[in-house]
Structure 1
Amino acid sequence: MKLPENINQISTDFNIEVGTYPPNGFLKFAEASLGNGDYFGLYWEFGKENQEPTVFEMIHDEGIIVPRFSNLNKFLEWYRVNNFDWGENEINDEQFVLNFLHKGNEQLKQNNPEKAIKFYKQSTNSFGELSENWFKLATQQKRIGNELEFQQNLINAILSNWAIEFPSQNAIRMMKNLNPIEKFKKHPLIKNREKLQFSFGGTKENNEYLIIHEIITELTEIGDLNKALVLEQNYALMMHWETASFQERYHFNSEQWRTDFKKKTSKRLTINAG
């Protein structure tokens, strides 16, 4: 993982998380920590370990991390503006994923789908594990008749990082009602979608975990390794919130999973100071 240029300006132990929560690839640092379990960290998305990380904030009550700054330099700028503490004074962060998403939404209000698509694409390029920007991009591509891009990006919206944002019911409903083009008829997610409700917790049994495990295996087999790893992280995250008896029933052991996943992501978790 490529360390930011100004890594020496934050306090961290360089202990990159394996998962489940915080998710694999998250590196906590001390600056602007609220002291209540919420803190900032660097996060490298899967497949972009050689790029500088995005800055996220841990929201422990909700069990998620949320994007806050496009890079460490922007965090440091915000930190200085707020007198080296957590503060509400904002800064301009043009390359931030949510900035592009907001601009796309503004174009939708003006009924400019083509311009909205431009900003949504920039949003997904800025950060590619958020469900909302992929779903917004997919819906507008559907609107202008680009069925190939619509279906690909709808798949991306579902196979996002659920530690950041769980796919919306609208995205799930659209995926389940999809009439797949030939390219996606045999895609692991699409061909298993009728067996999935994306509902977790509160039941004694839930065979969706078995289906998700099958999808992970198939994604690996077709060489979509990053999507497979993200979905495995999602699988473990959902299991993490289940009861101990449920985990035992489905043969899930958190520590064993961490050991195995650390091996699978060992190259990803290697720090590159250069």
Structure 2
Amino acid sequence: MTTKTALVTGASSGIGEATARKLADLGYTVYGAARRIDRLEKLTDGGIRPLAMDVTDDASMSVGIARIIGETGRIDVLVNNAGYGSFGAIEDVPLDEARYQFEVNVFGAARLVQLVLPHMREQRSGTIVNITSMGGKIYTPLGGWYHGTKFALEALSDCLRLEAQPFGVNVVVIEPGGIATEWGGIAADHLRKVSGDTPYATQARAVATLLSSEANARRNSPPQVIADAIAKAVTSRRPKTRYRVGFGARPLLFAKWLLPDRAFDAIIKRVTGIRN
């Protein structure tokens, strides 16, 4: 049997690193991609092939996919994991920063989909895994631009699933809850810089404290739970359309489905520590 090939973006740490290692353990030829290739060297001990790739640079993505196809002749799994959270009040965040977050979290993923789909269609098989978030279904104050990217990727994934299905290509969404990575601390620092000295400062302090708190970090799930969900999806003959895993994902998404907006607003205020 031909060894299957997978590309995992954002593979230098956290969910991406755990996923790359998991797929390699399952026997895939894995390419781990990130902007800084020096941060990928630690993956080579697991047989993972480091790949320099900037998901905001079309040439970088095109060259990367061409290399994978040239070396292996196929691509079976794309895990669109590269992304970041830039928090701040919608009024405060410069539009250039908002656009850049969409470039990384949405358009980079979409461009990679465009690049791999011709090969998957020709194979009549493949799985595209888009990492969104429970934040692609729920919302928090001062996270508008981040949530906007995740809502957008959810919608694109649903449309893509219908488009790709006749060609034997699966499209799966992973909706992580709280995961123990460096993401929260980075997002909190950026939030303080953007909105910590504006009319939204009180809210910024509350949300930043939640994002970076040690108590919250202890509750969060390890990245491995996401890697395990991705492994289950890509090895299943008929994967679920969505996998909701990690701390808080299921109860919060259920509450969003069940409650009217004002009632859910009250829950989010309570969770984030915001007081009127």
- Relative to the length of structure 1, the TM-score reads 0.31
Give the helix-richer structure, 1 or 2: 2
- Relative to the length of structure 2, the TM-score reads 0.31
Give the strand-richer structure, 1 or 2: 2
